[in-house]
Structure 1
């Protein structure tokens, strides 16, 4: 089907379509952010966890704070769904939420802010107090075209803020530092003003990447006047986020649901799980259709760390599962993976080399992993996290990994009906 849209440059669409909508939304709702202190959180991976963690720390320390993230918006006891596959909300939805937050007398908002949201003016008119970046790796190049352009689009968040919290160990740091405004606060595992040597914390969540997220949060909390011991106590009390290293089952084997949907996110997740694996590590994932094809390198990442890789559906859209899975498999082969059938994998206890199998149906893929799981295996179900639908063609079908995993565990008698 012929589409004129692909011939229209993104910048023209942004200025002729997205910007006018943002201006109208701000005018209609009377620029509600002028009455709020908004802290933006951006980055390729870890945005939602960091934003939710910051919200938790501020809330626990008496701040009247609300949260707008890709999972939901939290305004007091009310939790508002932000929709299917949503990054930064569209201008009308965002300004309506901000007005509601301001009308209810809240002072602070933690706002997860994406590169698309910045490039497409979805957050135009939002007055930010400060901003955090987690990391910027290769992603969304289908839209931004180059990594440098991607960094510059995210960097828009750091203009005209009172403080910028930057990851000194990330390769984006030298670029962001040049145009970040206000006070620059740095963090890192080893380097930076705040690091794990001068700020130790024991989190309930797995992973050094979550330590990094916590350090970024601590930098903001200290800047806002919260004492270090109170910051640490709040961080150590933080339970985590839906679909982020979420343990679904932990008895004879373990099943974890995680949102990792980029090569870097999958790498850090599998590295962490590899440390915990006493027998075999099984990874289940796919890649979204009509999105950055660089994500399909996840096939290579997976076979480097997992014993068994199961390639399946993850929002194939109009590309189709088979085509996407073949591309992921090509990368798996480059990483040293060898294809096996379900029957071959099921017949083996151990493998001399990493293996992969393609199972198009996601529920079937999860069922196969649970069926072959042995004592002390770890199964990681990646890519969907908190999301509540799967896109086939142009249709959204209801799906959550949590419900899918629970259904199969019940079927095999692992948990009660």
Structure 2
């Protein structure tokens, strides 16, 4: 399909988004009355800096009229917006009720609906999205000959083999459609993608229907003035995936799992449950001994035993979800290759454990960044190392401009379970990193916890390693929040950073 002004207007009209078409000379409901309305657009963008000849420009978000200065001279053919910009451009404007929804629909049409040529698998939840996505990707690739693409908060992969660092958990709708087209052109038949609450909040996945989707779990997160004003809003956005999938994989037991199951009943969506706690779930995993290093997976009958490179019981739960998702899209999960494909899955910066040859110290780098993930990480440390009575140091910061509750919740999850807290910079963006660290320090109420601040993150990592080496005993260092990311977001740009994983490898080498 080629996208023209006429076909764009018709598509937006079908979805009750189009209000009218405005030119400097008149307003109309009929795109066909506008000159060149049947000429295909050569380019589509939501960035006014990328306007080139015969571009369809989508004006979304906090868009300002001055962004269109000079757009006519650079070849803008039309614009989509919630407001009339005929005062600054002679190009026709498709005026809509919701520009972000319009962008998603038009992006899919511009790239000729690549999602229709893919088996789409979506994964949502407060924690475990990335790991479950990687496991699902591994299973399908192993069984299909590398014909599965991946969109994740860590990496994107559009050819089944090569990975590129991503910027968002769920790409903007236009970027997602473009990458889906690349994936299809590369011979991909499946796509696994993380679906964040913001993806539904700001319509990045509007118009997409998944062949299978997982709702892993839910706990308060992303509550802030610029994200979700309340937990109810956060949960509501997460639940939208249920009505936009043909089949649901649901983690049980879980907070609000019954509500999500009710959503599925109303939408007539079949549900497959998974669990490491509830034996009656459809797909389960249970440890075969007290070490919790090998689990038996079952689906009515045994699937097989597996030891994961990614430690932690929660990762075996994620593996259950991945098996259920893969089966829904036609993968034989009872084939031994399916289960074993997850054994060596490694995600840079995710439960990355390194031992110091110079001292009795273990460092674990992880993306944990909220109450639930920090608590799960400490549960893992307690189970694996509790008998050795380690001195546990948590190095953490918290994001700026969003998810404000995390600052308190990270401290609440950790302060009665660690001996040392080092507060440092994370993706503070426009906020003062010292102000965030001092706010977090104020939440430390346990007098037995040694808490301090070193804003320079690399210096903070080096400091806790030096402390551990001086300590006469066993130390566990937990470096959380940044994983293997090689940048820190400050003032709306990515500032290069060596990376927690890289610093630990350098210091421990």
TM-score per shorter chain, which class?
Answer: 0.7 to 0.9
After superposition, residues 211-230 of structure 1 pair within 5 angstroms as: 211-223=316-328, 224-228=330-334, 229-230=336-337
2:387 is the counterpart of 1:244: no
Could you say which residue in structure 1 is the equivalent of 2:86?
none
Shift of 1:250: 4.6
Q: Which residue of 2 aligns with 1:376?
A: 474
The answer to whether the 8 Å contact 1:49/1:240 transfers is: no
- Residue 323 of structure 1 and its aligned partner are, at CA, apart by 1.6
2:457 to 348, 362, 367: 362
Alpha-carbon contact 1:274-1:306 (below 8 Å) kept:
no
**Distance between the aligned counterparts of 2:127 and 2:503, measured in 1?**
24
Aligned to 1:343: none
8 Å contact from structure 1 (residues 254, 377) kept in 2:
yes
What's the CA shift for 1:195? Answer: 2.1
Cα distance in 1, alignment partners of residues 433 and 333 from structure 2: 50
1:392 to 468, 471, 490: 490
Tell me whether 1:184 sits opposite 2:271 in the alignment. yes
* Larger CA Rg, structure 1 vs 2: 2
Deviation at 1:354, TM superposition (A): 2.5
The CA RMSD measured in Å over matched residues stands at 2.2
The reply to whether residue 208 of structure 1 matches residue 313 of structure 2 is yes
| Residues 250 and 206 (structure 1), Cα distance of their counterparts in 2 relative to 1, 3 Å cut | farther
| Residue of structure 2 in register with 1:318 after alignment | 430
109-118 or 318-327: bigger deviation: 318-327
Distance 2:97 2:165 in 1: 28
Instruction: State the secondary structure of the residue aligned to 2:431.
Output: coil
C-alpha separation in 2, matches of 1:82 and 1:393: 19
Pick from 361, 372, 378 the counterpart of residue 270 of structure 1: 378
Equivalence for 1:195: 284
Does residue 295 (structure 1) correspond to residue 402 (structure 2)? The answer is: no
Instruction: Say how many residue pairs are matched.
Output: 381
Distance 1:404 1:203 in 2: 25
Query: CA shift at 1:113, angstroms?
Result: 1.0
TM-score after normalising by structure 1: 0.86
Residue 129 in structure 1 maps to residue 235 in structure 2: no
Mapped partners of 1:164, 1:405: distance in 2: 39
The one of 69, 75, 88 aligned to 2:152: 69
Residue of structure 2 in register with 1:168 after alignment = 252
Q: Comparing both structures, which one devotes a greater share of its residues to helix?
A: 1
Deviating more after overlay: 90-99 vs 176-185:
176-185
Change (3 A) 1:138 1:234: same
The CA distance in 1 between the partners of 2:331 and 2:456, in whole Å, is 50
Distance in 2 between the 1:51 and 1:77 partners? 15
In structure 1, distance between residues paired with 2:259 and 2:171 = 27
Which stretch shows the higher mean deviation, 385-394 or 238-247? 385-394
**Measured at CA, do residues 327 and 124 of structure 1 come closer, stay the same or move farther in structure 2, by a change above 3 Å?**
same
Distance change (3 Å), C-alpha of 1:18 and 1:386: farther
Distance in 2 (CA, whole Å) between partners of 1:327 and 1:104 is 48
Deviation of the 1:380 alpha carbon: 1.0
Provide the TM-score with structure 2 as the length reference.
Answer: 0.71
Corresponding residue to 1:105 among 187, 200, 207: 187
Shift of 1:362: 1.0
Higher relative contact order (CA 8 A, sep 6+): 1
- Shift of residue 204 of structure 1? 2.0
Local SS of the residue matching 1:391: strand
For residue 504 of structure 2, the aligned residue among 390, 405, 409 is 405
Match of 2:44 in 1: none
CA distance in 2, matches of 1:195, 1:49: 17
**TM-aligned CA deviation for residue 53 of structure 1:** 0.8
> Which deviates more, 283-292 or 199-208?
199-208
**Change in CA separation of 1:233 and 1:395 when aligned onto 2, cut-off 3 Å:** closer
